[in-house]
């Protein structure tokens, strides 16, 4: 199927973001990615951006708009982790993760929504995590920032839902990425024992849900949280 919509995926140069961008390209979307370094997959337009810097994001959007056209679908995927237990967590450990994962989403969606309102059409897709609602020791900063995306998407739905703009959250569980590959084998096996599906997801399984949410088939879905976690969170 071919589409003429313009998509921007933040953090689209690696991991889940890269798989999402590649899937949009494969389905015929005009696709741009933001990255602080590296390049997006073949067929994408890569722009440099720091999601903690509104001016940097504004310049990136302007570049995409000149090259591809107004952004109609935005996937807020860029994020960081700084895992440690609460009593060892510094204020910077907490603040920097929230500034990137939640603050970055705010800046990206605020900039994208201007064009969506003019077009009277848009899709906002926020990449959260199973730990946002399931919880995880050593990830108070990360899980807090990801849980907040649910309130963000639902508030945005109430603000802009009447303008044919949807906002949804995808909550991946454990995914086969470089990050999970670095975990000790015993740790990986322990995680898999807690997942009813008994395995980690592939990045493409997450990407398929994201592209579906961007399609007309999902036009009446907004404010939803869709887990892609093999049953780990039981729908939250």
Q: Which one of 29, 142, 191, 220 is the catalytic residue? A: 142
Tell me how far apart the alpha carbons of residues 62 and 34 are, in angstroms, rounded to a whole number: 12
Q: For the chain, what's the residue count?
A: 236
Is there a catalytic annotation at residue 220?
A: no
11, 21, 13, 125: which is closest to 68 by C-alpha?
Answer: 21
Helical (H) or strand (E) element with 72:
none
In sequence order, what DSSP letters do the residues of 95-152 get, joined into one string?
HHHHIIIIIHHHHHHHHHHHHHHHHT-EEEEEE--THHHH--TT-HHHHHHHHHHHHH
Contacts from 143-150 at CB under 8 Å and sequence distance 24+?
144/98, 145/79, 145/97, 145/98, 145/100, 145/101, 145/102, 146/79, 146/101, 146/171, 148/98, 148/102, 149/76, 149/101, 149/102, 149/105, 150/225
35, 37, 77: which is closest to 203 by C-alpha?
Answer: 77
Tell me how far apart the alpha carbons of residues 131 and 139 are, in angstroms, rounded to a whole number: 8
Dig out the tokens for 60 from the structure.
């990136």
Catalytic residue ranges: 142
């Amino acid at each position: 199927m071919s589409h003429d919509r313009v998509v921007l995926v933040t953090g689209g140069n690696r991991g889940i973001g890269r798989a999402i961008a590649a899937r949009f390209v494969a389905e015929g979307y005009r696709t741009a990615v933001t990255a602080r370094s590296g390049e997006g997959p073949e067929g994408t337009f890569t722009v440099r951006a720091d999601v903690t810097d509104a001016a940097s994001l504004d310049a990136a959007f302007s570049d995409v708009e000149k090259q591809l056209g107004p952004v109609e679908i935005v996937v807020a995927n860029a994020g960081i982790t700084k895992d440690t237990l609460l009593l060892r967590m510094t204020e910077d450990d907490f603040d920097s993760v929230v500034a990137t994962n939640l603050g970055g989403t705010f800046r990206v969606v605020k900039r994208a929504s201007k064009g969506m309102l003019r077009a009277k059409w848009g899709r906002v897709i926020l990449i959260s995590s199973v730990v946002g609602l399931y919880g995880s020791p050593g990830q108070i900063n990360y899980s807090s920032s990801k849980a907040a995306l649910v309130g963000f998407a639902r508030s945005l739905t109430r603000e802009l839902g009447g303008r044919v703009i949807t906002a949804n959250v995808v909550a991946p569980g454990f995914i086969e990425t470089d990050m999970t590959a670095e975990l000790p084998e015993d740790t990986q096996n322990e995680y898999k024992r807690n997942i009813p599906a008994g395995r980690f997801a592939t990045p493409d399984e997450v990407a398929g849900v994201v592209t579906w949410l961007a399609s007309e088939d999902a036009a009446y879905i907004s404010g939803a949280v869709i887990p892609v976690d093999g049953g780990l969170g039981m729908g939250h």
